[in-house]
Chains A and B, each alone.
Chain A
Amino acid sequence: MNQSQAASSGGDFVGLTRLTRVRRNFNRPLLIAVFLLLAYGLFVLFSATSQDPQHTAFFWQIGFAAVGTGLAIWVALVDYHIWLKLAYPLYFIALILLLGVLLFAPEVFGAQRWLNIGPIPIQPSEIAKVAVILVLAKELSGSKDRERPFIRFLRALTLIILPMLLIYEQPDLGTSIVVLFLFFPMCSFAAIRPLYTFSFFGAILACTPLLWYFLRDYQRNRILVLLDPTIDPLGIGYNLRQALITIGSGGFLGKGYLQGSQKQLQFLPVRHTDFIFSVLAEELGFLGVTLLLSLYAALFLLVLRVAQQAEDEFGTLLVIGILGMWVCHVFINIGMNAGIMPVTGIWLPFFSYGGASTLINLLSVGIILSVSLHRRRFMFYPGA
């Protein structure tokens, strides 16, 4: 099926009102999994911000979640083929914003990631991730160059190179790696020969040692310190040791909600965002951690099912791209908390405090729900 057919047939369901269709086809389990994650995240965020008697971050996050849920439901009800039209405009806006960050943004913690548009701070790299998913899904499912698969592959590749470089320059190594790694599963699910995909990633892996020379000193330090925490006992070595003590001392059952003793040491400046996982691990222990990872497993498998059952290739690729992004984030974030990945500013989906990430994640949920909703296969007709 080509794109134009999909687009014209997407919203057309014979004999059923729109409302009935929404009711029958809405992916409730997926939305429930997302809500459970959000609620769990807020529960831990309250404790992570317990030194602020007003719990400012906690209440902001409730607001972000509420607005984001509204956004998700709105996006879910719109046929996802609208993103075919919006993909390139969004992609170019994202590129301009990324360029704007490099030229105008103030530095926070040594990196420029935020851009103020009027009073609203936005994080262009977050927009860029979704925009890249949209254009890749469009390109990889399109009819152009179907007979010349290698050219197709190269075209897709060029689409990720520019945003990756701009994000890397901020510098935000973590996010540029995420962009690279959502490319991999999307190619795998597209009509790209596995030979290209695998040889490209083989080449990337083979080039990793070369990458070392492009890293900044502090980035190299973050990697070296993983191998030998004693090299910088006062700097990040100290932070790493504290992070491990925080997680490790949680034990099996944890120290109890609000009882974390490592919190007051304040060795982690971003406890409620990138390191919120360590607060969870300390207070709720291995049990709490297992619950979180189980929720992620459930969510990811539900999302994967949506990808599998999507109406067309475009839908599948959208969902796979988003799923790739989330898996990558979970691995990098928990990995850095647990001392097996270098420290980068990567949020934990639905868990870390943050307006941009929460809204982008819930928008992505909306896209997935839309793909799940706007399909004919597996329609359930009672009594038929």
Chain B
Amino acid sequence: MGKAQRAVVFSVVIVAVLAVLLGRLFFLQVVQGYNYQEASEENRTRLATSPALRGMIYDRTGAVLAKDTATYSVKLTPEHFDPDTLPLLTQITGMPVDEIQAKLEENNLPAWEPFTLRTGLGEEVVQKVEEQRLDLPGISISIEPQRSYPYDNLFAHLIGYTGSISALELSRMESAGYTGADVIGKTGLEKAYEDWLKGEKGKQILEVNAIGQPVRVLNEIEQIPGADMTLSIDLKLQQQARQILVDNQMNGSIICMDPQTGAILAMVSTPDFNPNDFIKGISQKEYETMTASNALIPKATQDRFPPGSTFKVVTTAAALEEGIIDPETYTVFCPGYIDVGGHRFYCWQTSGHGTQNLVDAIANSCNIFFYTLSLEIGPERIAKWAQLLGLNQYTGVDLPDEAKGVIPTPAWKWEQLEEPWYPGDTMNMGIGHGDVAVTPLALATAFAAIANGGKLITPYLVQEIRSPDGTILKDTQTTVRVEVPFSQRTLDYLRQGMVKATTLGTTQQVKPPGISVAAKTGTALITSEKQDIWICAYAPVENPQILVLVMNEYSTLIYGSYLAPFAGQLINTYLSVTPTATATPTSTPAP
């Protein structure tokens, strides 16, 4: 066979191959074309995701603090939506027409993806939509878990709330598999433990008809619920703590903590808000009201206040550990005032305390004693011990956006204000005034370190995390951040002073019958009539099991000691249900 003949054969093969293909395509497109066109009209598949059930949150006794319940959502697919059906849609969802149109405009998903028009509807909406299914193109119903907080305001700042992911959050979290339709933890533990709580979304390949309604499920992957968390919180104590603040119309914060472990037993801040309002959706005006009253800020962890005389424990620690004074012999006479640099500084008790030794000065909270003492110590060494006690550090609590305190030094003042440091600054610092500012939780942690013999621990809220099948994923152990190098002598003097304080005046009310308590009060003048007042107490002294901090911002009460009964009630509640006999003393009882 010659070359020309072979070329002819090959050209026949080529034409044949192309003819086979053309024949097949003719069959598909022309002969059967109509059938396939119909199939194409009907055939729309869509990947639908169903949100996972978020993990439950319990208190230490097993009470449910946050849970997911099934609610119904109306979804709208813009591609198939018919604006003529707006009145009918209003009737079903109860949303005004202009609100629906606003939602349509806001929507930034592709036109063929359903977006959520309204959530949190009851079961009756399902029936309404089903009945008029054919008159509502592009409208579908989905079951969605909705977060609810059975105790309303009680855990507003601790647990926080969930909400739809924002564009900014999405840009950060998209790589972790989030989409614009997701709900995420916005604040509090919901935010901090998002990765544990969220679970795995379910996926469905749906076949939908020409008006966007699902006709069948082609393939399905079930959702996996998020992990459940048990908090160290004691519900009863938490309720009582909030009640104290609310009943007495106090803005402030209460923290109850196990000073040995760092487990937070109760932590409230007022004013607060109802996180369930955020789940339902709040108006801009409501939001502004909350912002104006600072209700959204957890005072315990995200705000800082002058600690007042509670800071005197730091000044005392610095004086003893730095060897400034001999506590056996050192005394100061308090005539009710002291003159330094041409200024007269007064004691809170203007009639004077007379001659004060260290223990008396702590118990009486004598300002003249601590003014004199701080001038001898100097600001740097006071700051050193404030830092060792973590007062200008993050506590590392498992909550988002924690703030940290400020401990001024001459260098700090120059940097911030470009002003020299005066002896008066040192005196103010020594009694927790001036620029000293701490978060209530950091102060509570510092007192816990005194109570437990020098361990600066990390406070925590989440005790345990369990997967839906019950496997324990995380069991929080106590973390000691710093072993504060306290000598036993320093701890003894601090304890003696704080125990003696509970024998005097109104502070006596911090002691429930039969329980020994150590306490220090604080009063930081803000204006001539208003002050931030504090009490920090722990009990039993021999073997501290609970530490209570009460702080009242802009108080009309005059002294921190007025808070003593509240701290006493909380100590009593906790210790009357928790037997004290089981634990062994970790430190020498105060004399």
Chain A interfacial positions (CB closer than 8 Å to B): 185, 188-189, 194, 233-234, 238, 242, 244-252, 261-262, 264-265, 267, 281, 285-286, 289-290, 293, 296-297, 300-301, 304-305, 307-308, 316, 320, 323, 327, 330-331, 334-335, 338-340
Contact = CB atoms under 8 A, between A and B. Distances in A.
A189 B21 contact: no
B28 interface: yes
B29 interface: yes
A251 B30 contact: yes
Contact of A246 (B25, B26, B40): B40
A363 B15 CA distance: 24
B497 to A, nearest CB: 69
Interface string B199-214: 0000001000000000
Given A244-B36, A248-B37, A265-B45, A338 B18 contact: no
B13 to A, nearest CB: 8
Contacts of B20: 331
A304 B33 contact: no
B25 A301 contact: no
Interface of B: 1, 3-4, 6-7, 9-11, 13-15, 17-18, 20-22, 24-26, 28-30, 32-37, 39-40, 43-45, 112, 205, 218-219
B365 to A, nearest CB: 69
A238 B218 contact: yes
Given A251-B36, A296-B18, A334-B21, 7 more contacts: A188-B10, A233-B218, A247-B29, A250-B29, A289-B25, A304-B11, A323-B14
B37 A331 contact: no
Contacts of A267: 45
A209 B369 CA distance: 102
Contacts of B24: 335, 338-340
Given A307-B7, A338-B28, A330 B40 contact: no
A234 B205 contact: yes
A289 B29 contact: yes
Of the listed residues B9, B11, B33, B218, the one surrounded by the most CB atoms of chain A closer than 10 A to its CB is B33
A185 B10 contact: yes
Contact of A249 (B7, B13, B36, B44): B36
Closest 5 CB pairs between A and B? A248-B36, A249-B40, A251-B33, A286-B29, A249-B36
Given A194-B1, A334-B21, A248 B11 contact: no
A250 B29 CA distance: 6
A238 B529 CA distance: 77
A316 B216 CA distance: 57
A252 B29 contact: yes
A251 B33 CA distance: 5
Given A194-B1, A234-B218, A297-B15, A252 B30 contact: yes
A349 B6 CA distance: 24
A185 B22 CA distance: 22
B25 A338 contact: yes
Given A261-B40, A286-B29, A234 B14 contact: no
Contacts of A339: 24, 28
Contact of A330 (B4, B18, B112): B18
B210 to A, nearest CB: 10
Nearest to B110: A264
Contacts of A234: 205, 218-219
Given A248-B33, A330-B18, A281 B40 contact: no
Contacts of A320: 10
B14 A300 contact: yes
Contacts of A244: 28, 36
Of the listed residues A189, A249, A286, the one surrounded by the most CB atoms of chain B closer than 10 A to its CB is A249
A261 B40 CA distance: 8
Given A244-B28, A251-B30, A304-B7, A264 B112 contact: yes
A267 B40 CA distance: 13
A301 B12 CA distance: 10
A305 B4 CA distance: 9
Contacts of B21: 293, 330-331, 334-335, 338
Contact of B14 (A238, A245, A301, A340): A301
Given A261-B40, A264-B112, A338-B21, A248 B35 contact: yes
Nearest to B7: A308
Contacts of B30: 251-252, 286
B533 to A, nearest CB: 61
- Which of B3, B10, B20, B37 has the most C-beta atoms of chain A within 10 angstroms of its own C-beta? B10
Contacts of B9: 188
A267 B36 CA distance: 16
B18 A297 contact: yes
Contacts of A233: 218
A110 to B, nearest CB: 19
14 contacts: A188-B10, A233-B218, A247-B25, A248-B32, A248-B39, A251-B29, A252-B30, A252-B33, A267-B45, A286-B30, A293-B21, A297-B18, A308-B3, A320-B10
